[in-house]
Structure 1
Amino acid sequence: MLSHNPEDESKLYTDDIETTETEEARLLTEMKHTHLPLLEDYGFIDWDRDTHEVTKGPEFDEIRPLLEMMINNKDELPDDWL
């Protein structure tokens, strides 16, 4: 996400996350109804609901350092943080 723009919703999940179909459906629902709208409200992303495309918003650079720190230190963070 940090280096790619735009991203399609189909790329929201990676193959290395083990989930059941029920968990995946719940996560997708949370993403569409809670997380993406909130990130859009703060200006961190722009989300086109018609094309299912997510792009960096005007305030994305405000959270870039946090995201970079999390990615650079992912081995030291709890598994459910990333």
Structure 2
Amino acid sequence: MTPRPRSLAAFAACALGVLLLWCVALPWLSARPAVRDRLRFLERRGVDASAMYYTELDAMDAILDRYEGREVRRRGGPPRR
């Protein structure tokens, strides 16, 4: 069973799209000031930006509170003011 030219072209287009996204768009985006500042913010708080489950990190409570505009809470205690 040989692949049809149309399906090969679709696969090649998808592979090229992923390659461009990974090698061009994401590096460009990570160099933007807003993204760079966010990565520094996370690093200062000990958050690995490549972690899969941010909610398991102690530092994420305050980060999520800040992001959602809530008062910052302490783990196991009342919110800080």
Return the TM-score normalized by structure 1: 0.30
Q: Which has the higher strand share?
A: 1
Q: Which fold has the larger relative contact order, with Cα–Cα distance below 8 Å and residues 6 or more apart in sequence?
A: 1
Q: Which has the higher helix share?
A: 2
